[in-house]
A and B are shown apart, each in its own frame.
Chain A
Amino acid sequence: QSVLTQPPSASGTPGQRVTISCSGGSSNIGTNTVNWYQQLPGTAPKLLIYSSNQRPSGVPDRFSGSKSGTSASLAISGLQSEDEADYYCAAWDDSLHGPVFGGGTKLTFL
């Protein structure tokens, strides 16, 4: 069982906006920033959002992140076919002295 809680699945239609939630606690999201990763089948996770709301260079501005209290969200607007992937949130946990991950959300098209 993962320390951070994500919905196992999400879906949308091309062009739609989708939001994926990530819920944690006071020792992780409540105190530290959140990263989001995109994982395509058979590949390593790729950084999508860091420091809760910052995009690395090369990541389209269709992807955005936010954090409030002990929860975080990833929003994808203008959904495209190549966005079908697994998405993971992560945050440092002060009690475990290491990063904790969400269980992942599989994004599919309707």
Chain B
Amino acid sequence: QVQLVQSGAEVKKPGASVKVSCKVSGYTLVELSVHWVRQAPGKGLEWMGGFDAEDAETVYAQRLQGRVTMTEDTSTDIAYIELSSLRSEDTAVYYCATAFAVEPAAVPLYWGQGTLVTVSS
């Protein structure tokens, strides 16, 4: 069973950056495709980006291009997402979610507990 444990809540000022981590256990990062999904207060789920197993590359949502970076440390099985130039609209719960890398076009199966990022002056 895949388990995902995320870092704690963050409060940031507009214009700052935030980095959220996601520790994987039960499987290794190499075996998984990690995606990041966020949910603004009272809103639905928004895919931010993730690993496309078919093309073997990380893909970012177009509206976040240039502000988001996803990285992985396979030695510790921790995935990261960094979002820069934060705005109030970035206030949301950020989730890491995974599928199995052997399955192309696979939608996430397992989810982390979420990390609340609040952007406020």
Binding site for B on A (CB under 8 A): 2, 31-35, 44-47, 50, 56, 88, 90-92, 94, 96-104
Contact = CB atoms under 8 A, between A and B. Distances in A.
A101 B44 contact: yes
B9 to A, nearest CB: 13
B112 A99 contact: no
A90 B107 CA distance: 7
Give the one of B52, B61, B106 with max A CB within 10 A.
B106
B115 to A, nearest CB: 10
A31 to B, nearest CB: 8
Contact of B46 (A34, A45, A92, A101): A101
A92 B113 contact: no
Interface in B16-39: 35, 37
A2 B114 CA distance: 21
Contacts of B83: none
A44 B52 contact: no
B35 A44 contact: no
Nearest to B110: A47
B100 to A, nearest CB: 11
B108 interface: yes
Contact of B52 (A35, A97, A102): A97
B35 A99 contact: yes
